[in-house]
Chain A
Amino acid sequence: MSTPIIDARPHERRELIAVLQRMLPAGALLSEQEDLRPYECDGLSAYRELPMLVALPDTVEQVRAILAACRERGVPVVARGAGTGLSGGALPNPNGLLLSLAKFNRTLQIDENNRTARVQPGVRNLAISQAVAPFGLYYAPDPSSQIACTIGGNVAENAGGIHCLKYGLTVHNIQSLQFLTMDGSLITVGGSALDAPGYDLLAFMTGSEGLLGVVVEITVKLLAHPERAQVVLAAFDDVEKAGNAVAAIIGAGIVPAGLEMMDNLAIRAAEQFVHAGYPVDAAAILLCELDGVNEEVSEQILQVREILKQCGATESHTARDERERTLFWAGRKAAFPAVGRLAPDYYCMDGTIPRKHLAQVLRRIGEMSADAGLAVANVFHAGDGNLHPLILYDASKPGDLGRVEELGARILELCVTVGGTITGEHGVGIEKINQMCVQFPAPALAQLHALKHAFDPDGLLNPGKAVPTLQRCAEYGAMHVHGGSLPFPDLERF
């Protein structure tokens, strides 16, 4: 990894500024502390760090020149989109340059016939769907932050959303990427056809958290707007029954467009916040959205309501109209900020589990939450097993954040124990770097580092994120060995 230069070698910082100023337009390089401040964190605000410099290029040539200047000097580069990421993937490196792609905000081409759009990485997720709406098309992945988050960030994190059980993650909905490697090579992966020759580097780049290259152009796939979408809201007096209903719906051969669960604390928070009409005394609610051809949606709604009844739903409602459908979803989409009103701060986890372990995992989270004295609200992409426990705390209380991180770590390790993963869609970033040591044994991490080396031999792109060093894992392991054994000694580590 790089050696610190900001304090140790201030003249080298000045020299880099001088070099970059020559190649960038006025205002595209920030170096004063007050200008750097807005970039000190992303959506994971518990972690903050000022970058050495911020660059805001607006052409590929400028990005290439920045990378060359940084590479020559061994300066790390952290790429950033809108900064909505929840795992600290865009946390600046104090000795590095923060590369904002915010000015790459143009939609370059909409190909209506081939159902693709070629866009720059700084284009907002929702803006793509808005731009192609006149053609009856849309871009499917819809992370909750879609108003603000950029497609470049979506690619870096392989972002999901509430519709990904049926429509997939970012990796399933992009067709081509152009990226610069640290040595300045401009590489295109994927293409205009549905596949491309060679290795599937389109998939490999997606979710690589800015460690392999700087994406400068993206071609996304567009889908025809479904003729109709309808949502059913069901309440349960027991979380396990709600979990069984999810399995029963999928077991019946239905793939809902969205299938979301919220527990009681999340329901009450959301209801207070947006008045979505949620039953506040329910132990859990399910939101099941069906979309597609009109006739099919009608058929499936009847089926789903019958299944919900059989699974013991205390009540279920089909949204009467588009207004009510939007309202049902508004509660779910506002769940994070709603929970945020219950406490000064909240910490969002992102484990994924095989759904059959849901009841067991929620019970354990409840126990761990009680032990830690920290309330946890659960919001769950139930269809695909992606769990978002939100831990409530007060960052101004000394020691609170430490306890939260400890509880969060235990929750993620629980997800791994039942055969799941530490991150379903938010990425590892800096946040879950230690839990990677639980999920991957040393030889697998070494393999990931070797692959990183193939793209970025000097390790200058987003160092310290996503894949922990073996040394870090050794230290983390040493910290968490109790009585000579790891927390889950009989656990197969994968």
Chain B
Amino acid sequence: MNDAYDSSKELQAQVHAAIHSGEPLQISGGGSKSFYGRATSGTCLAAHSHRGIVSYDACELVLTARAGTPLKQVEAVLAERNQMLAFEPPHLGESATLGGAIATGLSGPRRPYAGAARDFVLGVKLINGHGEILSFGGQVMKNVAGYDVARLMVGALGTLGVLLEISLKVLPRPATELTLVQHRTPDEAIEVMNIWARRSLPLSGCCYDGDRLYVRLCGAGSAVRAAHDKIGGEILANAHEFWQGLREQRHAFFDGSLPLWRVAVPPAQPPLDLSGKWLIDWGGAQRWLKSNADAATIRRAAAECGGHVTLFRGGDRGEEIFHPLAPELFSLHRRIKNAMDPKHIFNPGRMYPNL
């Protein structure tokens, strides 16, 4: 697991070859999220070989690692110093890499209270579509020199460049965590999660499974106890497993072969009128839907309340997976793609057709 290796020169050579041949590359880390996004073809660029933690100073709250570093390794190293990736990146497989977590930009249950993957990215080193190795951002908390190319890479699904190295802000693990359970109707659950968020409470997770509302509190022991008194509920015994199951989509809700939609809406939005099974995370802001309803209906319902949807798993991976963009915004995406990857060799079509 600790076989640090710098394969940036090999990766760069492969990018140069692709630029010359015009043959697109499919960038792959550990392959744990290869299902995500649109199906594409091309020569595999195996970025998992470029691995190892480059620097980590717990007192600086900054870690820099190569993109192919296993996410497990990053988390283990942080745990030794009682720190964590506060955005709780979903691994979705044993082989998950840090680069894959950043390229997909996914975040776990703590996201509404601690921030998303993009919020913790301080800097990146990447290979652009000219085959150049470039660094943007840095390894310090505050840096406004140059456009924020580092955050532009987060969630870009490898369509703008090959991530080589990522610097992240890390945070101390909370001293105490406690999960409480309350029985609620869907309307009540959404309402109460958002009432809590408007109060000074140490929240770090809020999830509703259609019957039970799970709320995770974190911080100093005294603070967690005080919050427990304020909001009430039964203490959940196997809380860690529960939140891990939610983050890793191992919760029973995720079983079965129906397409899985991710519905992102304003957190206080009352339940949407769509057929299917729901699991509500992120205090109401991220809702999982297992449904056979047609894509247009689901997209329309989300868009009407200012949200958007992703066909997360299943369905036709050759069709639109992410919410269609307004024409002017899409045209700007095309120009950005051209600026970073003029030959369109990096994961073309993974996010949108013609991008």
Contact A251 B220 (CB under 8 A): no
Closest to A211 in B: B147
Residues of B close to A147: CB separation below 8 A: none
Name the residue among A225, A419, A467 with the largest chain B CB count within 10 angstroms.
Answer: A419
Please, how many angstroms separate the alpha-carbon atoms of A86 and B202 in the complex? 36
- A189, A450, A454: the one contacting B329 at CB < 8 Å is A189
Q: Does A27 contact B (CB under 8 A)?
A: no
- Chain A's nearest CB lies how many Å from the CB of B87? 12
Contact A115 B198 (CB under 8 A): yes
Q: Does A385 contact B (CB under 8 A)?
A: yes
Residues of B close to A343: CB separation below 8 A: none
Contact A299 B139 (CB under 8 A): no
Closest to A354 in B: B60
Chain A, interface residues (CB within 8 Å), range: 35 or more
User: Which of A98-106, A121-129, A333-341, A423-431 sits within the interface?
Assistant: A423-431
Contact A295 B220 (CB under 8 A): yes
Q: Does A135 contact B (CB under 8 A)?
A: yes
Contact B147 A250 (CB under 8 A): no
Against A, the Cβ 8 Å flags (1 = close, 0 = not) of B332-353 are: 1101101110000000000110
Residues of A close to B306: CB separation below 8 A: 191-193
- A114, A384, A441, A454: the one contacting B142 at CB < 8 Å is A384
- Chain A's nearest CB lies how many Å from the CB of B224? 9
Q: Does B278 contact A (CB under 8 A)?
A: no
Contact B59 A250 (CB under 8 A): yes
Contact A294 B226 (CB under 8 A): yes
Q: Does A469 contact B (CB under 8 A)?
A: no
Against A, the Cβ 8 Å flags (1 = close, 0 = not) of B135-151 are: 11011111111111101
Residues of B close to A194: CB separation below 8 A: 111-112, 116, 264, 267, 282, 285-286
Q: A206-B148, A296-B202, A423-B145 are in contact. Are A200 and B220 (CB under 8 A)?
A: no
Contact A422 B197 (CB under 8 A): no
A450-484, CB < 8 A from B: 450-455, 466-467
B141-198, CB < 8 A from A: 141-149, 151-152, 154-156, 160, 171-173, 175, 194, 197-198
Q: Does B39 contact A (CB under 8 A)?
A: no
Please, how many angstroms separate the alpha-carbon atoms of A204 and B197 in the complex? 28
Contact A160 B142 (CB under 8 A): yes
Contact A292 B200 (CB under 8 A): yes
Residues of A close to B134: CB separation below 8 A: 441, 443-444, 447
- Chain A's nearest CB lies how many Å from the CB of B57? 7
Residues of A close to B219: CB separation below 8 A: 292-293, 296
Q: Does B115 contact A (CB under 8 A)?
A: yes
Contact B62 A354 (CB under 8 A): yes
Closest to B133 in A: A443
Q: A187-B328, A194-B285, A356-B59 are in contact. Are A384 and B145 (CB under 8 A)?
A: no
- A196, A199, A224, A225: the one contacting B152 at CB < 8 Å is A199
Residues of A close to B307: CB separation below 8 A: 191-193
Contact A203 B148 (CB under 8 A): yes
Q: A198-B333, A224-B198, A354-B60 are in contact. Are A428 and B138 (CB under 8 A)?
A: no
Q: Does B92 contact A (CB under 8 A)?
A: no
Residues of B close to A172: CB separation below 8 A: 115, 119
Residues of B close to A447: CB separation below 8 A: 128, 132, 134, 149, 339-340
- Chain B's nearest CB lies how many Å from the CB of A275? 30
Residues of A close to B132: CB separation below 8 A: 443, 447
Closest to B327 in A: A185
- B172, B264, B326: the one contacting A195 at CB < 8 Å is B264
Please, how many angstroms separate the alpha-carbon atoms of A22 and B239 in the complex? 66
Contact A207 B144 (CB under 8 A): yes
Contact B264 A193 (CB under 8 A): yes
Q: Does B77 contact A (CB under 8 A)?
A: no
A338-358, CB < 8 A from B: 352-356
Q: Does B201 contact A (CB under 8 A)?
A: yes
Please, how many angstroms separate the alpha-carbon atoms of A453 and B342 in the complex? 13
Q: A224-B199, A432-B145 are in contact. Are A193 and B59 (CB under 8 A)?
A: no
Q: Does A201 contact B (CB under 8 A)?
A: yes
Q: Does B26 contact A (CB under 8 A)?
A: no
- B82, B135, B142, B146: the one contacting A424 at CB < 8 Å is B142
Residues of A close to B333: CB separation below 8 A: 198-199
Q: Does A247 contact B (CB under 8 A)?
A: yes
Contact B325 A197 (CB under 8 A): yes
Contact A203 B118 (CB under 8 A): yes
Contact A192 B305 (CB under 8 A): yes
Please, how many angstroms separate the alpha-carbon atoms of A148 and B145 in the complex? 24
Residues of A close to B112: CB separation below 8 A: 194
Residues of B close to A185: CB separation below 8 A: 328, 332
Please, how many angstroms separate the alpha-carbon atoms of A69 and B320 in the complex? 38
Contact B328 A425 (CB under 8 A): no
Contact A385 B142 (CB under 8 A): yes
Residues of A close to B265: CB separation below 8 A: 192-193
Please, how many angstroms separate the alpha-carbon atoms of A404 and B333 in the complex? 42
Against B, the Cβ 8 Å flags (1 = close, 0 = not) of A295-335 are: 11011100000000000000000000000000000000000
Residues of A close to B200: CB separation below 8 A: 224-227, 292-293
Q: Does A417 contact B (CB under 8 A)?
A: no
Q: Does A169 contact B (CB under 8 A)?
A: yes
Q: Does A489 contact B (CB under 8 A)?
A: no
Q: Does A436 contact B (CB under 8 A)?
A: yes
Contact A136 B139 (CB under 8 A): no
Residues of B close to A295: CB separation below 8 A: 220, 222-223, 225-226
Closest to A164 in B: B142
Contact A454 B145 (CB under 8 A): no
Q: A137-B198, A296-B222 are in contact. Are A428 and B139 (CB under 8 A)?
A: no
- Chain B's nearest CB lies how many Å from the CB of A410? 17
- Chain B's nearest CB lies how many Å from the CB of A272? 29
Closest to B121 in A: A203
Given contacts A111-B266, A157-B144, A255-B171, 9 further A-B contacts (CB under 8 A): A192-B266, A195-B116, A201-B152, A248-B59, A299-B220, A383-B141, A424-B144, A447-B128, A451-B149
- Which A residues fall within an 8 A CB radius of B? 111-116, 135-137, 157-158, 160, 164-165, 168-169, 171-172, 181, 185-189, 191-201, 203-204, 206-208, 212, 224-227, 247-248, 250-251, 253-255, 292-296, 298-300, 352-356, 381, 383-386, 419-428, 432, 436, 439-441, 443-444, 447-448, 450-455, 466-467, 494
Cβ-closest 3 pairs across A and B: A192-B306, A253-B172, A295-B222
Can you list 15 A-B pairs with a CB-CB distance of less than 8 A? A136-B199, A192-B305, A193-B308, A195-B105, A198-B329, A203-B118, A224-B197, A224-B200, A254-B172, A352-B143, A355-B59, A385-B142, A450-B339, A451-B147, A452-B147
